[in-house]
Structure 1
Amino acid sequence: MNARTLVYILLFSLFSMPLTGTCQQKDSTYYKKENAPDVKKILIDGKFWVWTQKIGDGKINVLLLHGGPAITHEYFEIFAKYLPKHGITIYYYDQFGSYFSQDPTKEQLNDTSIWKVSRYVDEIEQVRKGLGLDKFFIYGHSYGALLALAYTYKYPDNVKGMIFSDMNPSQRDFGERYTLASKQTDSLLNALKQYHAIIQNKTKRITYNTNLYQKAFDSTFERNFVVRLNTLPDYLMRTKAHKNYEIARKIGPSTFSLNYMTMISEIKVPVLLIAGQYDFIISREQVKNLSTRFPNAQWYMVPDAAHMGFADNPAEYFPGLIKFIRRNK
């Protein structure tokens, strides 16, 4: 599986939806959050602003980096229920091009230098300065975990600890895990009467209804390997609705442009690796092996959870996260 295929997977397997344009129409949630307490817009490179919000008043600070690319901070809203009461202040942050941050101009859309992981790493540093954070914990989920890793590698003196959630920095291992999850999805469909013939024809490379198959594959894959909930809560529905696919496609080619595996041995701060039991990106064995590459890392798997373990099984996800943060404060 090549890098281009991995980028496609990362962009479109997390909440598959019809494509939307970059200048998304703003809804009531946008304007409500515009006027929410402790919202701060931070100017980046003197060219555009990004949206942030502080939640809590504890002395321990955690900056949350969302995935996608180009989804929003909204799927982290559940964190406000668990972390602040333990003296942990969390900071939501929509990366440039995401829904709550400034819309790119046409000129910016065509500026390929903007849509690079390396530039987003420097954007995070400007966000840190804008928020007045000295030593802080950096948390990254999915694509955001790659940003957290690259930031910690470049700016280690600013970081107390790194949380690397539900991501795989190895393209090869990512591909192996996704291939297995895809085969398991086809197996689940094959067991259903209405899809059995389609899967059999697909296996035999005989013509089949590709539209019907893709729709069934996407919904089954999401339900089993992305988020294992029968009904999505409001904060996930809004995350799904607000993803900007045009921006995601622009960032996509840069996703694996950095050699993350060579960075790992240089990360000296405490690291926590987390993944869901059924995560389509990284397996238990891969998490375990990855933890041995860091000088100072621990890991755990969230049972009965997929790519969004904090939504699937918060009772198992958050205690370990909170314990790690408080131990290394």
Structure 2
Amino acid sequence: MQLLYPSIKPYARHDLAVEPPHVLYVDESGREDGLPVVFIHGGPGGGCDELSRRFFDPSVYRIITYDQRGAGRSTPHASLENNTTAHLVADLEVLRQHLGIDQWVLFGGSWGSTLALAYAQAHPQRVMGMILRGIFLCRDEDIHWFYQQGASRIFPDYWEEYESLIPEAERGDMVGAYYRRLTGDDEICQMHAARAWSAWEGRCATLRPSAQVVDRFTECRRALAMARIECHYFIHKAFLEPNQLLRDMPKIAHIPGILVHGRYDMICPLDNALALHRNWPGSELQIIRDAGHSAGEPGIADALVRATQSMAQRLLKLAPEAE
């Protein structure tokens, strides 16, 4: 197993004003003149943290982490105003230009893979390579699987708690029912809904139960941003056209990509990754046995570190490291 790289401090941070009212939190670490890579976090609404920097060799990469609109340390917190996929794609371009980067590597997991694909298809000339984990195509069937029926049959005990917040008459549309509560005026109701929504996701994120992951997902501030923003995106079909990401794959078919996906991913089932791989001749698919969805699971973390090493060797034509 490859270990994650040691924890490092950023050498620069930025408050990047984009379309009002949003200001994005951005930091840079690693090598100032290194291979630029942007970490695109999941959710949407998840935010970055110290772990986000540790998949990359800091002697090789210029590591850019940022929090998307409403997420993490960006402001205003949990805001849905002017918050769509098109806005997030535009923000990436503003960020790239602000940092003076011509081309960069995209590294994204779960929703981060969705946004990375949408950005690359809009700006293929700006992307050198892509490393994507836990592929999420945001098709109707993908959202239905996790929030209506599918994963509910794999984790019926967890689902029972998630479902219990919603009256039986409203359970035919769980995303809609949660959306009404997460966007209502009752702040106590909002928080109860946010924690239930996020607990369901956290409990299903790993192959083996992880109290640490669940605690992280249900921390009040993080849970509110994730639940509100995720529900906002999913009730609007991720602000994507039907099957848009697969339809537009010819635009980026030439870009090298490494796809890492847990075989037992219950949040984003493996068929997402297989469908993407079949439509992407330049991609390599790594199916990780004994793993679910989380980037923190040992097999997935190991594959991601190896992927960043492999991508650097390919793009910089470095000599492979000795085994």
TM-score of the two chains, using structure 1 as the length reference: 0.68
Question: What is the DSSP-based 3-state SS (H/G/I as helix, E as strand, rest coil) of the residue aligned with 2:293?
Answer: coil
Q: Which residue of 1 aligns with 2:315?
A: 328
Q: Does 1:255 align with 2:235?
A: no
- 2:75 pairs, out of 82, 98, 102, with 102
Residue identity matched to 1:182: S
- The number of equivalent residue pairs is 268
Residue 158 (structure 1) shift: 0.8
In the alignment, what sits opposite 2:283?
297
Q: Give the deviation of 1:231 after TM superposition.
A: 3.7
What whole-Å deviation, never above 9, does each CA across 1:105-141 have from its counterpart, x for those lacking one?
A: 9xx85x5xx1211121111100111122211001221
**CA 1:283 to 1:155, structure 2 compared with 1: closer, same or farther past 3 Å?**
same
Which amino acid in 2 is paired with 1:52? V
The secondary structure found in structure 2 opposite 1:280 is coil
Correspondence list, 1:60-139, <5 A: 60-74=35-49, 77-85=50-58, 87-103=60-76, 111=81, 114-139=82-107
Q: Give the structure with the higher percent helix.
A: 1
Percent of paired sites with the same residue: 20
Q: For 1:1-329, what aligned pairs fall within 5 Å after superposition?
A: 37-45=11-19, 48-57=22-31, 59-74=34-49, 77-85=50-58, 87-103=60-76, 111=81, 114-169=82-137, 171=139, 174=142, 178=146, 179-186=149-156, 222-226=202-206, 228-232=208-212, 236=216, 241-243=221-223, 244=225, 245-252=227-234, 253-258=236-241, 259-267=244-252, 268-313=254-299, 314-329=301-316
Given the superposition, is the C-alpha separation of residues 220 and 238 from structure 1 closer, same or farther in structure 2, using an over 3 Å criterion?
closer
The code of the aligned residue for 1:250 comes to: H
- Provide the secondary structure at the position in 2 that maps to 1:319: helix
Shift of 1:262: 1.1
Cα distance, 1:288–1:324 mapped onto 2, change above 3 Å: farther
CA displacement at 1:224 relative to structure 2: 4.7
CA RMSD of aligned residues (A): 3.8
Q: Look up the equivalent residue of 1:257 and give its one-letter code.
A: L
* Gap runs ≥5 in structure 1: 1-34, 190-194, 196-201, 203-214
SS at match of 1:84: coil
- Residue 242 of structure 1 aligns to which amino acid in structure 2? R
Question: Secondary structure of 1:53's match?
Answer: strand
Q: Does the 8 Å CA contact 1:149/1:164 hold for their aligned counterparts? A: no
Measure, in 2, the Cα distance between the counterparts of 1:176 and 1:255.
13
